Amino acid sequence: MSSPLSADDEDIFERLQQRADPKVLEEQQQAVNERVRAIYQKAQTRLGELIDQNSTLPCTISSIQVLNANHTRRGFLERIFNPLLSSNQKRPYTLSEALREVSARADRLNKFDIFQQPVSVYLDQSPNTNIHTGPPNLDVYLSVKEKSRILLKTGTDLGNTEGSAYGNLLWRNVFGGAENFNLNASLGTRTRSAYQATFETPILCDPGFWLEIGGIASSTQKPWANHEEVSKGGWGKLRWIGQSGNRHELGYNGFWRQMTGLAENASQTIRADSGDSVKSSVFHSWYQDCRDSPLLPSRGYYAKVFNELAGWGPLKGDVCFWKSEIEAQGACPVPIPGIKGDSGISFTTGLRAGLLYPLAFDTDSRPQLSRTNDRFFLGGPTDVRGFRLCGLGPHDGTDAVGGDVYAAGSANLLLPVPRVGADKPLRLQAFVTGGRLLPLRTALKGVPATSSEVKHSIVSTISELGNGLPSIAAGLGLVYAHPVARFELNLSLPLVLRKGEEGRKGLQLVFISYRHHPIMAQYYPQQQPYGSQASAQNLQFYPSSYGSVSGHTTPSQATYGGFGAGSNPAAQAYPIGGVGGGYGGFGSPATAVSGRMGEQGGLRTGWLAAFGTEGYDGEPPLLEELGVNFEHIRTKTLTVLNPFARIDQHLMDDSDLYGALLYIVLYGTFLLLSGKVFYGYIYGVAVFGTVALHLILSLMSPALDTTPTSNAADPSNYDPHHKPSFSDASTAGHFSATLTFPRSASVLGYCFLPLVLTSLAGIVIPMDTMFGYLLTTAAVGWCTYSSSGMFCVVARMRGMRGLVAYPLALFYLVFGIMGIFSSRGSGTLAAKTNAI
């Protein structure tokens, strides 16, 4: 017979039915985790004490077994682990020595990158051990898990007015000895086709000593020089790591190159170098990287030296030269008084220099002057900021023809973003970059014709590097270092610019991938030997994959006389058929630009001139070049702030996006200052929403009607609520001829202003309250009303304002929700959510 429930029993059931407080559960889970962690640490401490107490105990290793290595050769593993067996040792191990040697061999196995990490190591006493007759025998077991042997990756790259599709096939551990076979293919608008195959294998089972053999066939557009280059060839090289951690590469290159597909406006220099050439060269590179991070270093240094010898002696080929480059970078943290530890502020500086020395073939005593596809190029958002791609150095007309001697440098000051923290990979940067690229010229500005003249011209050209200021640019930017890539948004301004060189004023968006692209050498304007190690990804100089040089920075630069001017047809980069000349007129006194600014109509030199406002004759103002019109921005802003005013039909004719982008950036910044990090969401919703709304509204808008109507949408008689009659209704189901995508983006961005003001208020007051809900609702309605009116005017839609307002309200509502809800979950709704 069951006993009746007592009051205590009923209280137990009531407590079981109650929901546990989430904070209490979290505290309990935290206590359990701390207890488990303490037990683990205690066990580890005890294990360490036991090992220390028996560290001098003699022992032998009788066997080593590698488990689950099904596709790895036995001979490969034996070569790594057989030296550990005591049968191959003259004396027994101590326990500490045995553990150290086993750990070292396991780390060596990890470096081949054929097993997943970590490699687990187990020690067990051999059953055949007799402690009375000798030291104990140990059996070593290594438990591994092989990585996938076949890895296939495909994708697309879009951006910078170019697109490409690529595929990559990686076959690991081909023959069971850590060999790798890599096959890459790429098709695109600039790199028409590129195919590369590489095979690498370790030598003597050493993870620090590799042999690599590869081949490549590619066809690449070079828009900065108005031609296309086709390359086919291969390379072989040895890679090894020195005792101090420095890395070496020694190899041979053999390539057939063809400059073809010349544009109609290709210069005489490019036409002279067009056709086939064969390069046969040996190269060596050395570099050491001691930085704490290759993409965002705060301390350490990096150094690299590269040398290439082509066509000399038995190498043969069509080109003969010695090419040498040196690169260095240093980074150091900047301490701030009153801040303990790392302040997050760092200063980095970098220097690069290169020399191309023409040599003579065995059969000809005259030195072979360099070709366009062997010279150095400078300039670009990932090379020397503030200049167009290959915008520095000699030009022949609009073509960048490269140089034989260069020097470049930069200095960066990186600061943590306020309220983000120094531990986040987000930094503000201020930078100064500069460089100088020169052709090889004698003291009289002539082309060297003999070996002795080449020696004198080297000295003369190097001394010319220090003659006057280099081309300099400065700017500010925002840097985000992802684990595999670095993103930069920079505002740059050229301070010193020579005739013919192309600066880049304004914003530059930069993407630098840290992974080594197998065919990236085809994209670089400054080509390195195929198969050689890519340049280090440092703060100053990145190998650039950007290749579009779209015209001149200013209209006046398009008519600069110096390099390759049409008035001097005899002026060429290098002599053709014995006709002397220089790069685009270096041999002509009338148009020579020797490098000292202030001569031949250039700008004045000096530090004061660098920070002055002096420019070339006829050069338009900077803001005019950038398309920034503050009067238009003010007019559109006032229109948004007064939504009941009559809207001008031609308000969005200029499709200005600067104000729209400004308001979007301000919105994200204000959310950041209020503790809400939504940059990714803002970017994604803005891009996707703008594209979707443009598509929908374009299909809704009527076609252009050449017959005037009495109710045409103009400033004097526009009424967005007027319903058209059947006779003047235009056909639907087509794209609008007046509503372009830039106009749609401009309308959506400018009408974002009320939400920007709301986010500004969110810095001071919490938005997750009733007042915040009402304020955000009013802002969303304001944005919707203003944007629907503008769209009806721009797209000439009549009687459809309500229909247009519906998708716009959904669009702005998403941003309103971002302003209300914090990523930290504080406020009224957050409290209610936790209570449920």
Collapse the DSSP code of 640 into the 3-class scheme (helix H, G, I; strand E, B; otherwise coil) and give the result.
helix
Could you list the beta-strand ranges (E) of 360-470.
395-396, 399-400, 405-416, 426-438
Residues 265-289, mean pLDDT to the nearest whole number: 93
pLDDT surpasses 50 at 525: no
User: How many other C-beta atoms can be found within 10 angstroms of the C-beta atom of residue 237?
Assistant: 25
Apex 426 CA angle, 422 and 668, nearest 5 = 115
CA distance 276 to 441: 26
Pure H helices in 498-629: 607-610, 622-626
pLDDT band with cut points at 50, 70 and 90 for residue 283: very high
Report the range of poorest mean pLDDT among 161-165, 323-327, 376-380, 617-621: 617-621
Question: Distance between CA atoms of 706 and 708, rounded to whole angstroms?
Answer: 6
Half-sphere exposure of 152 (CA within 13 A, CB side): 0
Q: What is the mean pLDDT of residues 299-312?
A: 94
Per-residue tokens: 396: 């022949």
Question: How far is Cα 727 from Cα 734, in angstroms, rounded to an integer?
Answer: 19
User: Average pLDDT in the 84-100 region?
Assistant: 84
Q: How far is CA 237 from CA 249, 283, 430, 523, in A?
A: 7, 9, 40, 21
Average pLDDT over residues 689-703: 80
- Give percent above pLDDT 70 in the chain: 75
Domain range 53-143, its CATH number among 3.20.20.140, 3.40.50.620, 3.10.20.310, 3.40.50.850: 3.10.20.310
Per-residue model confidence (pLDDT) at position 458: 92
Q: Where are the domains of the chain?
A: 53-143, 150-559, 634-833
Q: Mean pLDDT: which of 30-39, 249-258, 551-560 is highest?
A: 249-258
Residue 21, pLDDT above cutoff 80: no
DSSP state of 18: S
Q: Which token pair is 245?
A: 């951690």
Q: What is the pLDDT of residues 234-268, one digit of tens each?
A: 999 999 998 888 999 999 999 999 999 998 899 99
Length in residues, the chain: 836
Of 67, 63, 64, the residue nearest 143 (C-alpha): 67
pLDDT attached to residue 527 = 39
Decide if pLDDT at 626 tops 90: no
Query: pLDDT higher for 373 or 381?
Result: 373
Phi, psi of 602 (to 5 degrees): -80, -170
Label each residue of 125-162 as H, E or C.
ECCCCCCCCCCCEEEEEEECCECCCEEEEEEEEEECCE
355 phi/psi in degrees, rounded to 5: -145, 135
pLDDT at 481: 87
- pLDDT for residue 807: 87
Query: Tokens representing 123?
Result: 């020690």
What does the mean pLDDT of the chain come to? 77
Q: What is the pLDDT of residue 56?
A: 85
Q: How confident is the model at residue 749 (pLDDT cuts 50, 70, 90)?
A: confident
Tell me the per-residue pLDDT of 393-433, one tens digit each, with 9 for 90 and over. Answer: 999 988 999 999 999 999 999 999 888 888 888 999 999 99
656 or 835: which carries more pLDDT confidence?
Answer: 656
Q: What are phi and psi of 423, to 5 degrees?
A: -80, -10
Beta bridge pairs of residue 196? 184, 216
pLDDT tens-digit series, residues 121-152? 888 887 776 666 678 888 899 999 999 999 88
Question: Quick check: 627 pLDDT over 80?
Answer: no
Is 468's pLDDT higher than 50?
yes
For the purposes of burial, counting CB atoms within 10 Å of the CB of 666, is it exposed (0-12), middle (13-18) or buried (19 or more)? middle
From CA 713, how far away is CA 789, in angstroms rounded? 11
Domain 150-559 CATH (choose: 2.40.160.50, 3.20.20.70, 3.40.50.300, 3.40.1390.20): 2.40.160.50
| Of 709 and 197, more confident | 197
Peptide bond connecting 543 to the previous residue in cis, omega within 30 degrees of 0: no
Q: How far apart are CA 343 and CA 414, in angstroms?
A: 11
pLDDT tens-digit series, residues 150-174: 988 877 665 444 566 788 999 999 9
How far is the C-alpha of 601 from the C-alpha of 592, rounded, in Å? 11
Classify 530 as helix, strand or coil. Answer: coil
pLDDT at residue 11 in the model:
67
Low-confidence winner among 545-554, 675-684, 793-802 (lowest mean pLDDT)? 545-554
Dump the DSSP string for 453-473: HHHHHHHHHHHHHTSSPPEEE
User: pLDDT at position 617, please?
Assistant: 53
List pLDDT tens digits, range 222-234.
Answer: 888 999 999 999 9
Mean pLDDT over 564-593 rounds to: 33
**Element at 110 (helix H, strand E):** helix 95-110
- How many other C-beta atoms can be found within 10 angstroms of the C-beta atom of residue 256? 15
User: How far is it, in rounded angstroms, from Cα 226 to Cα 214?
Assistant: 29
Residue 301, both tokens: 């240094």
Positive/negative CA dihedral, 200, 203, 208, 211:
negative
Q: How far apart are CA 309 and CA 304, in angstroms?
A: 17
Question: For the residues 553-566, what does the mean pLDDT come to?
Answer: 32
Q: Which of 298-312, 502-516, 626-640, 680-694 has the lowest mean pLDDT?
A: 502-516
Pick 702 or 69 by higher pLDDT: 69
Tally the C-alpha atoms within 13 A of residue 88's C-alpha that lie toward its C-beta: 10
Q: What is the mean pLDDT of residues 697-724?
A: 49
